[in-house]
Amino acid sequence: MKATILHAPGDVRYETVPDPRIEKPTDAIIQLSATCICGSDLWPYRGLNGESGPQHMGHEYCGVVVEVGAAVRTVKPGQFVVGSFCLSDNTCPHCAYGFQSSCEQVEFMTGAQAPYARVPLADGTLVATAEMPDAEMIPHMLAASDVLGTGWYAAVAAQVRKGGTAVVVGDGAVGLMGVLAAKELGAERIIAMSRHASRQALARAFGATDIVAERGAEGIARVKELTGGVGAESVLECVGMAASMEQAMGVCRPGGTIGYVGVPHGVSLDGQKLFFAQHRMLGGPAPVCRFLPDLMDRVLKGSIQPGKVFDLTLPLAQVAEGYKAMDERRAIKTLLRVD
């Protein structure tokens, strides 16, 4: 089959690779219904992760099981499944504690920007639906695999509560899903920090009550103004840069909580500053597995439409253009059709 390989920064190719096959008895092979490009794929695409050599790309996926290893018990060929970008056994103490992204056997999904993919730890990772979903459900189900699950975790980690105030730092796809999550979790006030008209509009559609276009000290002052001088109790940091973390800390009230889900790049926290700011912090790769059944249920009931975050759809063969569009910020998030 053909699949997506990153050869070097900026050099994405859709080219022939060996078909995926069952390598361990806990594996499953799925036929992708759709796949997509993640903001985190742009790190290696931009040469910022220091990797070298060709790598298989893609960790967001949903599709139909075509084959399972001998040890797989919970899914079977023919079922539609969604899985987390973090692969976990879902039985170890860390999984049982709800932190599947720190599973004793944790692996990160790869090779999903392809028509078929191998999913290790299938029993702990894949969640099947009772029926085959309609085609229009696919983008929403696909989102649950990472971008929605990650935005959701940002809101949960930030302790968003019914009637509370949340600020979302970052207007990328994860930030927009953070807005949706804060809305679903009952936040009354959702302040999205965004400078781009199209993203502001999506943020409003997902539930933002206020938009702050300013950044830095001005952005902090504006949020303070909107919160009676106090700051927000919940802050979702959805970028992972030093400036965005600084922004998150600036808008968080003492005793408030920052949930951070952007993989930190160049972020260092000064212990004494954090101490006197009195911010509760929780971050990490999202334990999507914890939320997946609930998120899929919300999608199937039609109560959320996270797939609206995809503003560019391309056939998988044009994956390189998908990366380019996101790199140049022409697209928020690219869905790749598997025809």
- Around Cβ 263, how many Cβ atoms within 10 Å? 15
Confirm if 61 and 145 have CB atoms less than 8 A apart. yes
Q: Does 163 bind a copy of itself (CB under 8 A)?
A: no
Q: Residue 25 or 255: which CB sits closer to a copy of itself?
A: 255
Q: Does 228 bind a copy of itself (CB under 8 A)?
A: yes
* Cα→Cα distances 10→6, 38, 68, 110, Å: 8, 15, 35, 18
Three-state SS at 168: strand
Q: What is the dihedral of CA 330, 315, 55, 21, to 10 degrees?
A: 150
User: What H or E segment, with its residue span, contains residue 7?
Assistant: strand 2-8
Give the nearest distance from C-beta 147 to a copy of itself in angstroms: 17
Q: Residue 268 or 303: which CB sits closer to a copy of itself?
A: 268
Distance CA 44, CA 39 (A): 10
Q: Does 59 bind a copy of itself (CB under 8 A)?
A: no
Give the nearest distance from C-beta 149 to a copy of itself in angstroms: 15
Residue 94 has which token pair?
A: 């860390």
Q: Does 99 bind a copy of itself (CB under 8 A)?
A: yes
Distance CA 179, CA 156 (A): 12
The piece of 37-45, 57-65, 272-280, 296-304 that touches a copy of itself (CB under 8 A) is: 272-280
Q: Residue 267 or 336: which CB sits closer to a copy of itself?
A: 267
Q: Residue 9 or 284: which CB sits closer to a copy of itself?
A: 284
Give the nearest distance from C-beta 275 to a copy of itself in angstroms: 5
Q: Does 108 bind a copy of itself (CB under 8 A)?
A: no
Q: Does 263 bind a copy of itself (CB under 8 A)?
A: yes
Q: Does 216 bind a copy of itself (CB under 8 A)?
A: no
Residue 22 has which token pair?
A: 């069952």
Give the nearest distance from C-beta 14 to a copy of itself in angstroms: 31
Residue closest to 140 by CA, chosen among 303, 317, 326: 303
Q: Of residues 274-293, which lie at the interface with a copy of itself (CB under 8 A)?
A: 274-285
**H helical segments located in 145-264:** 147-157, 173-184, 197-206, 216-226, 242-251
Q: Of residues 129-158, which lie at the interface with a copy of itself (CB under 8 A)?
A: none
The DSSP code sequence of 16-85 is E-PPP---STT-EEEEEEEEE--GGGHHHHTT-S---S-EE----EEEEEEEE-TT--S--TT-EEEE-S
Q: Does 265 bind a copy of itself (CB under 8 A)?
A: yes
Give the nearest distance from C-beta 157 to a copy of itself in angstroms: 8
Distance CA 165, CA 182 (A): 9
Give the nearest distance from C-beta 255 to a copy of itself in angstroms: 4
The distance of Cα 182 from the centroid of its chain, to the nearest Å, equals 15
Q: Residue 250 or 322: which CB sits closer to a copy of itself?
A: 250
Radius of gyration of the chain (CA): 19
The piece of 26-34, 81-89, 259-267, 330-338 that touches a copy of itself (CB under 8 A) is: 259-267
Out of 59, 94, 189, 298, point to the residue binding a copy of itself (CB under 8 A). 94
The piece of 61-69, 168-176, 181-189, 268-276 that touches a copy of itself (CB under 8 A) is: 268-276
Q: Does 264 bind a copy of itself (CB under 8 A)?
A: yes
Q: Does 51 bind a copy of itself (CB under 8 A)?
A: no
The DSSP code sequence of 301-328 is TTS--GGGG--EEEEGGGHHHHHHHHHT
The binding site for a copy of itself (CB under 8 A) comprises 93-94, 97-99, 101-102, 228-230, 233, 240, 245, 253-255, 260, 263-272, 274-285
